[in-house]
Amino acid sequence: MRLSDALSIGDVERLAKRRLPRVVYEGIVSGVEDERGLARNEAEFHRYRLLPRAFADVTKRDQTASLFGRTFASPFGVSPTGIAGIFRRDAELMLARAASEARVPFVMSGASMVSIERLARIDPANTWFQLYAARDPKISDDFLRRARDAGFGTLVLTVDNPVPPKRERDMRNGFRLPPRLAPLDMLEALLHLPWVIDYLRRGGMPVMETWAPYAAPDAGAADVARFFRTQSPSIQTWRDLDDFRRAWPGKLVVKGIMRPSDAVRCIEHGVDGIVISNHGGKALDRAPASIEILPGIKAAVGDRLAVMLDSGVRRGSDIVVARCLGADFVFVGRATLYGVAAAGLAGASRVLAILREEIDITLGLIGCPRFDELAADFILKDSGEPTPPESALPRPIAKAV
């Protein structure tokens, strides 16, 4: 299959799987512990059906979405994904470029391999900066300064990872920074020569440029990664949030909110938006799926802050469902990583185009020409009751002859 033949995110994922050594590919797909949260994210989306409205004029369809004073071409953006540079060198630059061309926001990860300054050359007005707060507050302050100087208008503070999660699949695979592959996995990697050659030709593991200025002056890629681990994760409190609010003049978003009461508290602390997220199943395995808690959070906060969501989005129709349940905006993490891993800029662009097209088709099929007019009355939820065994079903009434 070629990229141009890829019809769905699943197809693009298959292309990424073909290009990457197994251990590296699994670094994208993996979750934590038993990976039930990972499975739940997608399964919960499948419990929602869309009820089509008949005789609607859907000749012209509009999926633009406004957020923080800007209008985006589509109601979704690219979630921050650190270490993207492992999957393809300079992947972050390609993701930023693809997002800019598609006129959707790109969130640069605070664990990015490409520096803030290099990313700022793409489209700073379209780039948000995600911060993993450092244990040393001076480092966090400096990140804010650099992000502001770079022209990024929105800060995203990720809070769902206060302690290192138990990523068992990655641990078994030796997928860490730097990766430590078992001999059999090294042999398997040879089946993916273009990736291996590119990785080795560029000097092996890329440096986490964003963190490099704070590590020792002669630190190599592995040293910078180890330094990052001494600083992150760090435990943050509401008081720290107040400090960030005071220090950051632009829009402030908290990523990883799961409780309605926390969402309300974010409003009280001057936050402009939240991303309901369980880190795509990479943090707490027993966390609920984002989509199942969205209605409760939306009911609690109303329109007082922007309600965004990620985790489990694989189809344009997932984004439509999220909007019906109250999301102002949606983000994708793995989908665009699959694209960039499979085919660089073209792959990331293809993923964004697939999602855009699927939203457009879904709007047409359900009889709602405008994305911003989607509402809960388009939704039918599967009750979740287990299907009764056949023996428990009422017997069909014998037909009178």
Backbone angles phi, psi at 380, to 5 degrees: -125, 125
Question: Is 354 one of the binding residues for ligand FMN (CB under 6 A)?
Answer: no
Chosen residue from 21, 75, 77, 82 binding ligand FMN by CB under 6 A:
82
Catalytic entry in 46, 192, 269, 279: 279
Residue window 291-320: x/- pattern of binding to ligand FMN, with contact defined by CB under 6 A: -------------------xxxx-------
Chain positions 233 to 272 lying near ligand FMN, rule: CB under 6 A, are: 255
Among 325, 386, 316, residue whose Cα is nearest residue 357? 316
The answer to whether the Cα torsion of 359, 275, 322, 376 is positive or negative is negative
Residue window 204-223: x/- pattern of binding to ligand FMN, with contact defined by CB under 6 A: --------------------
Cα(223)–Cα(97) distance, integer angstroms? 29
Among 269, 274, 262, residue whose Cα is nearest residue 303? 274
Q: Which is nearer to ligand FMN, 63 or 158 (CB)?
A: 158
Task: Single out the segment in contact with ligand FMN by CB under 6 A; choices: 143-151, 215-223, 224-232, 276-284.
Answer: 276-284
Query: Count residues contacting ligand FMN (CB under 6 A)?
Result: 24
- Which pair of tokens denotes residue 51? 């009820």
Neighbours of 161 (CB within 10 A): 17
**279 counts as catalytic:** yes
Chain positions 105 to 144 lying near ligand FMN, rule: CB under 6 A, are: 109, 111, 130
Among 146, 122, 126, residue whose Cα is nearest residue 67? 126
Identify residue 73 by its one-letter amino acid code: A
Question: Is 280 one of the binding residues for ligand FMN (CB under 6 A)?
Answer: yes
Question: Is 65 one of the binding residues for ligand FMN (CB under 6 A)?
Answer: no
Cα(58)–Cα(56) distance, integer angstroms? 6
Chain positions 19 to 38 lying near ligand FMN, rule: CB under 6 A, are: 28
**What is the chain's length?**
401
The interaxial angle of helices 334-366 and 22-29, nearest 10 deg, is: 50
Instruction: Kindly list the catalytic residues.
Output: 279
Residues in contact with ligand FMN by the rule CB under 6 A: 28, 41, 79-82, 109, 111, 130, 158, 255, 277, 279-280, 282, 310-313, 332-335, 337
